[in-house]
Chain A
Amino acid sequence: MNRFWIWLTRFASPPVFYRVAGVWRPWLGIGALLIGGFSIYWGLFHAPEDYYQGDSYRIIYLHVPAAWMSLFAYVVMAVAGAAALIWRTKLSELTVLACAPIGAGFTAITLLSGMLWGRPTWGAYWVWDARLTSELVLLFLYLGVIGLASAYGDLRRGARAAAVLALVGVVNLPIIHYSVRWWNTLHQGETVRLFGESSIDPSMAWPLLGAALAAKLYFGWSLLGRLRLALIETESDKAWVAQALDIQPDPDQRQNGAEQRASTKAAPEDPAHA
């Protein structure tokens, strides 16, 4: 256990994480591109047509992975938030900030693709379906987290406030989901689902699983990229950043870095001015 903690703290140190993330990222990107491209191509042009929904069901290869990821990103954000509040490590705080826009993007794609699927299937772009309604509330939760984090001037304090909100949100998420489902059955009968409990043909299922895997890989790719950029931004006065950006480091950068360690923002002023 002890050794694991040592490994973890070393891994979470900015220069090490920046380097390791840089090694993993291309693989995640290539994997997402290959698996996603192949699955979606297969789903769009080779999988059989759905008996009830016709071709329009092919939107599931986008909609369902995006919906899964919108929840997954929120959970990752909440876990990172718990870590940020308990251990106060910079990396977990930055993870909270980085997850929110990716998750909000997945949620927006889920909503838009759901609307575009709803028009040919239900005859309307928006139907107060239980899943779509929960996704809409989820989008508002994401917007709240993003808004709160950016309202604080200080990056790390904003991240910790966002972490509290993310944790409160993740506790409420299942409650919201089940209450909306209850509300839905109260007001209207069952509707055709984009991806219901009914069994689906294997020739339709495996491209879906492939697309879901690709979405996970893409999430990792985007998250690592955002974390690397955030590390550069918050540590821009350290010597390792210059190296990471292929810039000749300043000879006196080291002592300036030590002076500025207290400030976490990318301070635009030179320390010599202060």
Chain B
Amino acid sequence: MLEWLESHGHWGFITASYAIAALALLIDVIGQRIKRNDLKRRVLERQARRQLQRTH
């Protein structure tokens, strides 16, 4: 894998480092989105449970 990276000269290293940064950015953005959806689901679930208790 390292040989493959080194066979591309300077631009190989440049591309690799910017790709790592882009990946980190993507993980941050998607991670926050997933967390938001997860929190929303939890609030909705809790509301549904409360609703159920009220009707009983």
Contact = CB atoms under 8 A, between A and B. Distances in A.
Give yes or no for direct A-B contact (beta carbon below 8 Å): yes
Interface string B32-52: 100110011011101101110
Nearest to A56: B10
A192 to B, nearest CB: 14
A229 B53 contact: no
Best-surrounded residue of B6, B25, B43, B47 (most CB of chain A within 10 A): B43
Given A120-B13, A250-B47, A62 B21 contact: yes
B35 A229 contact: yes
B28 to A, nearest CB: 6
A119 B42 contact: no
| Range of interface residues on A (Cβ < 8 Å) | 35 or more
Contacts of B6: 119
Contacts of A62: 17-18, 21
A229 B32 contact: yes
Given A62-B18, A113-B20, A242-B43, A270 B35 contact: no
A236 B21 contact: no
Contacts, number: 86
A272 to B, nearest CB: 6
A247 B40 contact: yes
B44 A119 contact: no
Interface in B3-32: 6, 9-11, 13-14, 16-18, 20-21, 24-25, 28, 32
A94 interface: no
B14 A44 contact: yes
Contacts of A154: none
Interface of B: 6, 9-11, 13-14, 16-18, 20-21, 24-25, 28, 32, 35-36, 39-40, 42-44, 46-47, 49-51, 53-54
6 contacts: A112-B20, A116-B14, A119-B13, A242-B47, A250-B51, A266-B42
